Structure 1
Amino acid sequence: MGSSVPLGLTLLLLLHWAQVHANQGILHAIGNQDPSSAKDYCITYNSTWTPLPASYSNATYYELEDLSFLSLCSATEVPQSRLKDKAVVVLIGNCSILAKAAIAQNSGAKLLLVASKEGLPFLADNKSDYKSLTIPIAYIRYRDVKDMKPSLGSSVRVTLYSPALPKFDFSMLLIFLISVFTVALGGYWSGLSELEDLRPSPPGTETEGRKKKDDNVTFTPLTVIFFVVICCVMLLLLYFFYKWLVYVIIAVFCLASATSLFNCLSAIIQNIPYGKCRISCCNKSAEVRLFFLAAFCIAVSVTWVVFRNEDRWIWILQDILGIAFCLNFIKTLRMPNFKACVILLGLLLLYDVFFVFITPFITKNGESIMVEVASGPSGDAEKNGDTYLEVPDEPYSTNEKLPVVIRVPRLEFSANTLCQMSFSLLGFGDIIVPGLLVAYCRRFDVRSTSSMIYYICCTIAYAVGMVLTFIVLTLMKMGQPALLYLVPCTLLTSSVIAWRRKEMKKFWNGGGYEIMEHMDNAVNEEGLTSSEQEEQ
């Protein structure tokens, strides 16, 4: 189990992310020769640039001009007469998609489609230099462009639309249940581990030796600061060297998740009184059922690695491994006191806010570093003014994503049968970091015999923070750093409970208060406490 801690620390460097999804829509094409013939194709667009109608019934159709052999980086490439009042298809080139749109609009085009041979990008440019652009702009697959004329005839008319999303996103509800369940169970498991540590064992027994070799790791305030610094460095390295480091993260996740799944399942199996036959080798013995369990966990992890890009179903396996990883991490990594919790959560909150809200003012394309890393890079594209996020929808065009998130598919419109699935995402850090505080509250309950008041209140505060995150996410229509809402809710709630119970000093100092109380209540040789000596 100890090997899972450094692996887990590596994954925690990629922390917080609330929800990501590209704007997907549909291109509805009809043939002029046979108006009854029609076909739909997937597109990606930026809804903040040009909103699309929810249906094609009242939409305006434009004759399609196929110039997919040109990149349209210069106004001299094509006569204006070929573009006027038409929907124009051009090929991805070296110039920005906004530069293409400006040329097309100045030439009289009513709609610009950019054909991509390697997947459907997400339009993420900074439009501040092209405020006069009004025509709709979208990406379409190159193979779909070439399919139109054979399917619909030589003359085709097209329009764009994007069906309205459901009023309530059920993926948020599922992510809420997963996150709260994982935090609550991880904190409770940590409390059980604390109870086991406090339970006395007969001297010289195997149980006593096992306790001495406990693999739990404790964070000190200095370790917390060092950890946050490494988080910043690793995130920047991923931003600039994503296409190499992403495979390192995948390998680390494979090992760490297999170890975590084994630890979670073995904790359950140990309570089953059957099948405890053992085998011995090299003066050591182990239960046979644990060997089969280890083989099963490795097989599950390897299956995820092999099929990790199969979005239609692999998200279930990734979420199972992710839950096991978070549970094992919350149980294994222990915060020594509330002071260390405040430092860790406070610094990571600043880290989260900086890389989500501040870095867009620094990067050239106006996107935050956290969003870029969590969504994936722009494939082979340069990180310049035309940075885009690749969507892996071509059979041989894949873009590796970081596996450090809980993924739940969004229930959207019928374009999901044409386009890449959209997912709601929650980073492991948004579960583990507050979960460490919940686990500390549960262990404090155990050591101070305060029932489960701290644990229950902190868990409820986490749930409230998640609800606030989703409310703001829905209102602002953009990814949110969940720690911005989780940290204040959990820290303030824990502080208020400690203050109301007049236990703030004990809660702040953590394990240290036991030593101080022991010294204050020490009995001298005459059987008197230190306070009684003062009275004499």
Structure 2
Amino acid sequence: MTAKLWITLAVLLLCYKGECQEAVLHVSDGALNKEYCLVYNSSWSNISDSLSSAVKYELVNLTYSLLCDAGGLLPVNLTGKAVAVMRGGCAFSQKAQVAQHLGAAVLLITSKENMVTPSANDTEYEKVKIPLALMRYRDFLDIQKVFFLRKMEAQLYAPPTPAFDVSILVMLALAVFTVGMGGFWSGAAEREKQNAGPVLSGGEERADSGDLSLYSPLKVLLFVVLMCGMLVLMYYFYKWLVYVIIVIFCLASATALYSCLDAIMNAIGCSKLSVTCGERSCSVRSLLLAAVCITLAVVWGVYRNEDRWIWILQDLLGVAFCLNFMKTITLSNYKICVILLSLLLVYDVFFVFITPFLTPNGESIMVQVALGPGAGGEKGDGDVVEVPADPSPSYEKLPVVMRIPRFSAWAQNLCGMQFSILGYGDIIVPGLLVAYCHRFDVWTGSSNRIYFISCTIAYCVGLAVTFAVMLLSKMGQPALLYLVPFTLLTSAILACSRKEFRQFWAGTTYQVLDSSREPLLPDGEAAYPSAVRKC
């Protein structure tokens, strides 16, 4: 199996992370202030939405106790105070009821483990009347260090994060740009091949540059089956295979970035500055570009878990990877486009919506693989978030998504950066159809690129609808559920309205005449009576 296929197996993992339930613990001694991350359940605990309206509580340290019962506590007055205890030993609701009985007004549960949105049975919800939240144990140790032997006051508040964030518009623009440029590049490469000389038809052609054309329905089906197998293997053997994918991504993205930059240099007419050494010559430009691309890929590989800034480099490499993929892997005709996109739509929906009923933790296989096992969460009544006990993630994430920080939460990232994300598969899969549309424009000599422009607009509208449904439903969506119908139907309706559907369906199995646009079969026989026989 080629490296391109293995890369594709990892690329088509897509998801969108749901809304978080995070709050802020503001600690002060009158002169010094510091804030820390909290995780709470909004349907269970009522917390103020601003610091100015938050009630002040004296903070009491009981982290030596699990507070599963009132025994073993040192004599202390907890009335109207915020009490911090250790996680474990019993349910959250039991700790809260004991704290209530002792007169506490707030319960903070310090955790050495990853913090998941606290939950309980429906009957337990009604018994707990005080706010309850989880915080990192390491943060509480920092509180003791910063406010050593001083009286501390605590305030809890949860700044509202709007459902809509500007990052969604940035993501939309980035995705549409990538799809449009990838389709344009594929069409431009097709025009160069035409200008270079006649190309034999039949659908099995390979360009001299190594471009690969998918032309067989059986191979497309096998490709999708391998995708399913790879995703399941990633689910069960994630901690080993994730490093294989990371290495492959570094190699593939460096190669893709080189291809993109080299094409840009050729377009602007930059000289290659060849240097001859004996009988061999090498291009100084190529060496410099290769050095830059390898360096960027290595930097990403080393600092891939630095959320504060590495997303910029990941998106750059991701855009290059998607562009090169759409230019390199071509679909020979619309029939193959329909088969591939339809199968991947079913694949996407199944692994997002159906697999939660089959997995032990109720999490979809696609979400768990794409975000990593440490970013999952647990199935609950409301939205669920998991925050690592150590801000430095202990798990690896697959480099299969574009990431844009949520600008509305930029100042609230105590628990970790929040991102709007879009899988590479949501760009590449429809992008292959957009690329085919542009190549068809080239074959038919369309000067206005009607198929390419229409399909790109359809992709933009489909992605906008995806984001709208996601915001309204407050849950992640399999984007191909919307993108595939929008792009396939738009291109098919356009071909029918222009009376070119037969040519559009058959693609490279026809040769299109410049004058009549009537296709001929590869052996020279007329496709239909009115066609002109060509020698």
Could you state the TM-score of these two structures normalised by the residue count of structure 2? 0.83
Structure 2 residue 425 is matched with structure 1 residue 429 = yes
Q: 2:93 aligns with which of 93, 96, 101?
A: 101
What SS does structure 1 have at the residue aligned with 2:407? Answer: coil
In the TM superposition, what whole-angstrom CA distance separates every residue of 1:126-165 from its partner, at most 9, and x where no partner exists? 8679654755443312122123345445654434211122
Structure 2 residue 115 is matched with structure 1 residue 121 = yes
Structure 2 residue 140 is matched with structure 1 residue 145 = yes
In structure 1, what is the Cα distance between the partners aligned to 2:531 and 2:403?
61
Task: Give the 3 Å change call, closer, same or farther, for CA 8–37 of structure 1 in structure 2.
Answer: closer
1:456-535 to structure 2, matched below 5 A, reads 456-514=453-511, 517-519=519-521, 522=524
Q: 2:54 aligns with which of 41, 59, 72?
A: 59
Contact 2:17/2:476 (8 A) holds in 1: yes
Structure 2 residue 11 is matched with structure 1 residue 12 = yes
Contact 2:85/2:110 (8 A) holds in 1: yes
In structure 1, what is the Cα distance between the partners aligned to 2:137 and 2:500?
66
Q: Which runs of 5+ in 2 are unaligned?
A: 200-204, 513-517
1:358-369 to structure 2, matched below 5 A, reads 358-369=354-365
Task: Give the 3 Å change call, closer, same or farther, for CA 288–412 of structure 1 in structure 2.
Answer: same
1:342-421 to structure 2, matched below 5 A, reads 342-378=338-374, 391=387, 394=390, 397-413=393-409, 415-416=411-412, 418-421=414-417
Q: Which runs of 5+ in 1 are unaligned?
A: 204-208
In structure 2, what is the Cα distance between the partners aligned to 1:298 and 1:133?
59
Q: Which residue of 1 aligns with 2:86?
A: 91
In the TM superposition, what whole-angstrom CA distance separates every residue of 1:416-453 from its partner, at most 9, and x where no partner exists? 36331111111101100110110111111111223411
What is the RMSD computed on CA atoms of the aligned residues? 3.8
Task: Give the 3 Å change call, closer, same or farther, for CA 519–369 of structure 1 in structure 2.
Answer: closer
Contact 1:125/1:365 (8 A) holds in 2: no
What SS does structure 1 have at the residue aligned with 2:26? Answer: strand
Structure 2 residue 198 is matched with structure 1 residue 196 = no
In structure 2, what is the Cα distance between the partners aligned to 1:507 and 1:312?
46
Once the two structures are TM-superposed, the CA of residue 382 in structure 1 deviates from its matched residue by 11
Task: Give the 3 Å change call, closer, same or farther, for CA 282–112 of structure 1 in structure 2.
Answer: farther
What SS does structure 2 have at the residue aligned with 1:148? Answer: helix
Contact 2:391/2:416 (8 A) holds in 1: no
Structure 2 residue 260 is matched with structure 1 residue 264 = yes
Task: Give the 3 Å change call, closer, same or farther, for CA 514–90 of structure 1 in structure 2.
Answer: farther
In structure 1, what is the Cα distance between the partners aligned to 2:225 and 2:344?
10
In structure 2, what is the Cα distance between the partners aligned to 1:532 and 1:409?
56
Q: 2:442 aligns with which of 431, 442, 446?
A: 446
Q: How many corresponding residue pairs?
A: 513
In structure 2, what is the Cα distance between the partners aligned to 1:51 and 1:356?
32
In the TM superposition, what whole-angstrom CA distance separates every residue of 1:387-408 from its partner, at most 9, and x where no partner exists? x976468465543222111111
Q: Which residue of 2 aligns with 1:323?
A: 319
Once the two structures are TM-superposed, the CA of residue 260 in structure 1 deviates from its matched residue by 0.3
Q: Which residue of 2 aligns with 1:301?
A: 297
What SS does structure 2 have at the residue aligned with 1:115? Answer: strand
Q: Which residue of 2 aligns with 1:206?
A: none
Identical columns (%): 49
In structure 2, what is the Cα distance between the partners aligned to 1:501 and 1:232?
37
Once the two structures are TM-superposed, the CA of residue 326 in structure 1 deviates from its matched residue by 0.3
What SS does structure 1 have at the residue aligned with 2:135? Answer: strand
In structure 2, what is the Cα distance between the partners aligned to 1:520 and 1:213?
23
In structure 1, what is the Cα distance between the partners aligned to 2:531 and 2:138?
89
What SS does structure 2 have at the residue aligned with 1:505? Answer: helix
What SS does structure 1 have at the residue aligned with 2:511? Answer: helix
Structure 2 residue 237 is matched with structure 1 residue 244 = no
In structure 2, what is the Cα distance between the partners aligned to 1:128 and 1:228?
42
